[in-house]
Chain A
Amino acid sequence: MSEILKITGLGKSFGRHVVFSDLNMGLSAGKVHGLLGLNGEGKTTLIRILLGVIPSDQGEIFYKNIPVSFRSAAYKEEVGYIPEDSFFFGGMSVGELLGFNAAFYRRWDGRRAEDLLKRFSLDKKARIKTLSRGMKLRLEMAVALAARPSLLVLDDPTSGLDVPTRHDFLQDIIRELADSGTTILFSTHLVHELERIVDHLFILHRGRLILDEDHETIKNSTRRVRLAFPGEPPQTLGIDGVLSATREGQRVEVIVYPWSDDKKKKIEGFSPILLEVEPLTLEEIFRSFVAG
């Protein structure tokens, strides 16, 4: 599958604080990518660099195999961006914000913008500052989509939204966009939101990409293993990929990635009196990755 966006060796520091270094990742065309990370791990910084909003210290970015930089503007024609708290220009009306943005994009589709307003029940004349958070997000979405982006980047857009809005938003739009071939990069710290829509997962933690894997794969190869032993549990199970382990008396619980039959056999070698292997939710997977 072709990569629409690729970054190599990306590094960024704020003064002495290294946000991340030597970051490599690629976004596959037409897929929904989740960028996970705790607050303050540099998700917004990474996205701002990708969008050319701020410069990186090291590394290169390729959009459709063409190197782009902080100074490039043309590739942004094809990149929609919904910034965190993207609720600016409160004095403008909904229609004015669309008009303002239409002036920047050659690919702007006026009819699509109209359709999106209707679909999101947005009133053209309403002042932006009078809109609710959910409505503002829809407006930003309409702006981004009217430019017919090939890549849509959302920076933690649903934080602070009420649950039904989040649900609708994700269900209705992201999946639909992805199905129509738009590549999506969705950054969030509310991991469970991604569960149903995400194709590929990145986890940014302590300045490194600690996970870069398809959603299917990670789901299928991360397992929680519950064990109980007749006496003292062994100090180590002798397998690698243990993300977390908790002991309580004779009971042991470990989360393992990647899980395999070989590992299961190894554990069986310790003769546990209980051995349960179960899949995890995305949220649980994320927590175990960033816990270590």
Chain B
Amino acid sequence: MFKKMIIKEWKEKSGIFLFAIAGLVLFGLAASGYSEDKETLDILASTVLLIFLPVFSLLLGASGFASELQDGAWAYLFSRPVKKWRVWLTKYLSLLSILFVVIALFTLLIQVHPALKSAANTFSFPLVGDMSYGILAYVLPLLLFTTAFSLSILSEKTHVVAFMAALVWIVMQMAVTRAGLLIYDRGMQSVFFLISLMSLLVPLSLALASLMTVGRADFSQPKRRARIFTKSAGVFILASIGLVALLALGTKMFQRDRFIYNLEARNNAFYFATDKGYFKFDVTGGQTEKLARHPSMWGYMSMAGDKVVFTSYDYGGGWRGFAQLRIMNSDGKEERRLVGTENQESPLYGGYIYPIRMSPRADRVAFFVRYGPKATVQDLWVINSDGSGLKGYDLGIPDAEFYMIVGFGETERSIFVLCTQKLKPGNKDGRAGARLLRVDLESGKVEALADQIRKPYAASMPPETGTSETGLVAYIQHDEATSREILTVVDSETLEKLTVYPEDSVTAFRWNKSGDKLAFLTASSRLGVYSIPEGRVVQIKEITGYDLRWPSEALEWTSDGRIMLRKIEGEVSSICFLDINLTEQRAIRLPFGSYYASRIWSAGKYAIVGNTEKNQLWGVDLTTEKWLQIY
């Protein structure tokens, strides 16, 4: 029965199938015609992926029961000795096979077509093989098709059904977004992701309702048919909402909803961003205060002098949120907006703002705007702290994946940026490496200082609170000849490079607070200290018993020039303090299991450690050794 039904459906739908093939052929020919013009190729391929395939899915699905309803053949089919739900299912699978053949042909086409193949890396949508390609090219059409097919039992008018399905989809997406934002504003981010399950559950509900209607309703009465469908769809959708709510409760995500994004230690304070807002832990008073509320998923902040700049995501009661850059004093006062992305005319429109960096003198802010519809040309932006003088810089890196701002140069004339590149398909080990760039803020000139900077993409400048602004950038670079990760320091003015410790691969490093020493960890568990003024490694020692998981999080300097490390001994874990001879002087036991200890910081007389299990921050007063939950 199944085989015959497939043959029948393929024959009946041969028109729309040939239409799709003709579309793909036209697309292939057009692509050949524009083989040199990558932007046009991108537009062409995006049109097929983002418009043609969804519309085709809707139309194909909507044509599901159209011919049977038109000529009354439904009565013929339903009088055959087969369960009605099987007729539905067989038809569904038959049409689905048509849809997937068309999608597979499209996928094949963009992979074998010479022009498309060579331009694929510059396409604005994900590459074939990526999960997001699978979602966009297969899952989304599947869901649209299922929605339209489920509704096709209601009317023989294909265009009406396709329109209804599109409407259902749009309303559903709006409702999901709206509900998501409401939940979001209440600080329940994990539930936010569960909400998106509705995108799967609604088409599933409609499909079940459609099946049920076929099995129960009188097809000779369109109104009664529609009523049964609407009723059962309502029940299934309500059940889906209940399921999502149960899942949310069951996973106890409400309690675990604490996210800590962005932390920065200063001599007198410790600043951090969470899903609840921006906070400051005052070291002298031992108190945490909330500086600013921000209903945002990822909070970024940067500070210098007495100013804090941070990102916010403002929904303003609308459907769509827009990123903002805001600034305030370090006590949370005088909070105001610097620039936003809601203006359609602005080149920042619709983008995400990250990362951000305040200049050492607190008079300028550098930031990136990514993924906005207009964010393709200019990547880096700089604005004065009073909101004036917005200027964009085109870094000219088409395959940039993400950026980190390493810091401003000595005279604030230039800015240092680390840029990772999109990996080519099949390259999973990060061999593309990141590049260290210097951008001249006056001329806009971009200069590559180093490449092959590997994960965890470590590059940093000494803290600007240090006594000297050295203009040095330290980074870990992969050396092809020795296959080692080499810690290197480059002078941003003279471009002179120093190799710190070529004997071993360096896994992590940290500048001291005054910016004249670098502590580093190596692959063979050595801890070393390099002195910039002396130009040599002043201490190097093999260390045992320390917790060197995620090395870049395991190393810190205190403000009085000692080195902090984590340690695990059986059940007991602690943070340890080593003097300049790398001898352990003191260990303070952690108030929670070591396994969950994350990065350690030092701010004034406090040492701070994160708890990854509960997403908490704990600080210990080094004079009293008393622990305090900061967040």
Q: What is A's interface to B at a CB cutoff of 8 Å? A: 14-15, 45, 48, 51-55, 70-71, 73-77, 79, 81, 83, 85-86, 88-89, 91-92, 99-105
Contacts and interface: CB of A to CB of B under 8 A. Distances in A.
A93 to B, nearest CB: 10
B75 A48 contact: yes
B73, B79, B215, B219: residue with the most chain A Cβ atoms closer than 10 Å: B79
A74 B81 contact: yes
Interface stretch (B3-11, B137-145, B437-445): B3-11
B73 A89 contact: yes
Nearest to A99: B4
A103 B1 contact: yes
22 contacts: A14-B220, A48-B75, A48-B79, A48-B220, A51-B78, A52-B79, A53-B78, A54-B220, A71-B83, A73-B83, A73-B84, A77-B81, A86-B76, A88-B76, A92-B11, A100-B4, A102-B4, A103-B1, A103-B5, A104-B80, A104-B81, A105-B80
B218 A54 contact: yes
Residue from B3, B75, B217 having most chain A Cβ neighbours under 10 A: B75
B72 interface: yes
Nearest to B217: A55
B216 A76 contact: no
Contacts of B220: 14, 45, 48, 54
B82 interface: yes
A76 B81 contact: yes
Contacts of B542: none
B221 interface: yes
Contacts of B218: 54-55
B71 interface: yes
Interface residues of B, number: 28
Given A83-B79, A91-B12, 11 more contacts: A15-B221, A15-B223, A45-B220, A51-B78, A53-B75, A54-B218, A54-B219, A74-B81, A76-B81, A101-B80, A103-B4
Contacts of A51: 78-79
Given A55-B218, A74-B81, A83 B76 contact: yes
Contacts of A54: 75, 218-220
Interface string B214-236: 01111111011000000000000
Nearest to B221: A14
B377 to A, nearest CB: 53
Contacts, number: 72
B477 to A, nearest CB: 68
Contacts of A105: 80-81
Nearest to B12: A91
B6 to A, nearest CB: 11
B32 to A, nearest CB: 35
Contacts of A76: 79-81
Nearest to B73: A88
A103 B11 CA distance: 17
A54 B222 CA distance: 12
Contacts of A101: 80
A171 to B, nearest CB: 26
Contact of A89 (B3, B8, B223): B8
Quick one: which of B4, B78, B80, B82 has the most chain A CB within 10 A?
B80
A55 B83 CA distance: 14
A53 B216 CA distance: 10
Contacts of A103: 1, 3-5
Nearest to A106: B81
Nearest to A55: B218
B417 to A, nearest CB: 63
B227 to A, nearest CB: 11
Could you say which of B4, B8, B12, B81 has the most chain A C-beta atoms within 10 Å of its C-beta? B81
Contact of A88 (B4, B72, B81, B217): B72
Interface string B70-109: 0111011011111110000000000000000000000000
Contacts of B8: 89, 92, 100
Contacts of A92: 8, 11
Contacts of A89: 8, 73
A202 B611 CA distance: 84
Contact of B1 (A14, A53, A91, A104): A104
A14 B217 CA distance: 12
| Interface pairs A-B: 9 shortest CB-CB | A76-B81, A88-B73, A103-B4, A104-B80, A77-B81, A54-B218, A103-B1, A51-B79, A81-B79
A53 B83 contact: no
A14 B221 CA distance: 8
Given A53-B75, A99-B4, A73 B216 contact: no
Nearest to B216: A55
Nearest to A85: B72
A44 B492 CA distance: 90
A69 to B, nearest CB: 11
A92 B82 CA distance: 21
Nearest to A90: B71
B181 to A, nearest CB: 43
Q: Which of A52, A54, A70, A91 has the most CB of B within 10 A?
A: A54
A56 to B, nearest CB: 9
Contacts of B82: 73, 104
